[in-house]
Amino acid sequence: MAGIRIDEADVLLVVDVQNDFCPGGALAVEGGDAIVPVVNALARRFAHVILTQDWHKPGHLSFASAHPGRRPFETVEMSYGPQVLWPDHCVEDTPGAEFHPDLDVPHAELILRKGFDSAIDSYSAFYENDRVTPTGLGGYLKERGLRRVFLAGLALDFCVRYSAEDAHGHGFAVTVIEDACRAIDLDGSLAATEAGFAALGIAQVDAADIG
Ligand code: VGL
Ligand code: ZN
């Protein structure tokens, strides 16, 4: 699918390219740092770029450490449904929550923090994990006349997936740039993500297909 032309109505959403999701971090995604140069080059082709930042308070309810007897990567039932428990990660104002030091997107227009409510996780950049509390991003994009959403970042099968599916649900044309993402792949989550994208008609391309 070569030759996707980027225009003024397009936005690149760069999801959670933070130290804790890169090798050496608390919730490291294999090869997470390898996307950084890909994202940097990609971002230069977009007039509009938004960064998201996973941003949890200490003791966040998505942390296994907040559930005595539970271990990371187990699933528990929360008031809003099933929730994977994670290692403590992206705690606000800690080095792990900072963007990867080589991420170079000076023209990013918005940094959207998510997961700041201690009692609800937020994979998606559009809704918290109760699936009803909005972050405001849908309205922001619409008010600005942005119509096509391209996604890159970490992790493909969690925050990129939910953000892409919710962008689709808002009526945006959605494209995931696969070689600018890496997955956690927990219990088949990567295969489920690819199937979900295909079912919704979310395009999957490589960075070389753009511009
Ligand atoms: C993420 C798990 C927990 C992500 C964030 O960015 O995909 N995954 N918090
Ligand atoms: Zn998180």
Is 116 a residue whose pLDDT tops 80? yes
Residue bearing tokens 């923090």: 113
Is 102 a residue whose pLDDT tops 60? yes
pLDDT tens profile 52-68: 999 999 999 999 999 99
Whether residue 181 lies in the annotated active site: no
- State the pLDDT confidence band at 211, using cuts at 50, 70 and 90: confident
Tell me the CA–centroid distance for residue 206 and ligand 2, in Å. 26
What are the Cα distances from residue 180, in Å, to 23, 96, 152, 167, 211?
16, 20, 5, 18, 15
The one catalytic residue among 16, 20, 88, 121:
16
What average pLDDT does this structure show over 103-109? 98
Atom in ligand 1 nearest the alpha carbon of residue 158: 7
Amino acid at 109: E
pLDDT tens profile 131-147: 999 999 999 999 999 99
Identify which of 74, 76, 86, 127 to mutate to test ligand 1's pocket (most ligand atoms within 8 A of the CB).
86
The one catalytic residue among 20, 54, 88, 114:
114
Q: Above 0.85 for ipTM, yes or no?
A: yes
Question: What is the rounded CA–CA span in Å between residue 76 and residue 91?
Answer: 21
Give me the DSSP letters along 73-129: T-EEEETTEEEE-B-S--BTTSGGGSBPTT---TT--EEEEE--STT----SSSB-T
- The two tokens of residue 103 are 């991420």
DSSP summary character for residue 21:
G
pLDDT tens profile 139-191: 999 999 999 999 999 999 999 999 999 999 999 999 999 999 999 999 999 99
Domains for the chain: give ranges and CATH numbers. Answer: 10-57+87-205 (3.40.50.850)
Question: What is the rounded CA–CA span in Å between residue 176 and residue 202?
Answer: 7
Whether residue 114 lies in the annotated active site: yes
| CB-based contacts of 186, cutoff 8 Å, min separation 6 | 73, 84, 157
Tell me the CA–centroid distance for residue 135 and ligand 2, in Å. 15
Whether residue 57 lies in the annotated active site: no
- What residue ranges line ligand 1, CB within 6 angstroms? 16, 21, 54, 86, 123, 154-155, 158-159
So what's the pLDDT on residue 97? 98
Which ligand is nearest to the Cα of residue 156, counting in written order?
Answer: 1
Task: Find the angle CA(152)-CA(153)-CA(156) to the nearest 5 degrees.
Answer: 95
- State the pLDDT confidence band at 2, using cuts at 50, 70 and 90: low
Which ligand is nearest to the Cα of residue 21, counting in written order?
Answer: 1
Which ligand is nearest to the Cα of residue 15, counting in written order?
Answer: 1
Residue ID of nearest Cα to ligand 1 atom 8: 158
184 contacts 32 by C-beta, under 8 angstroms: no
Is 1 a residue whose pLDDT tops 70? no
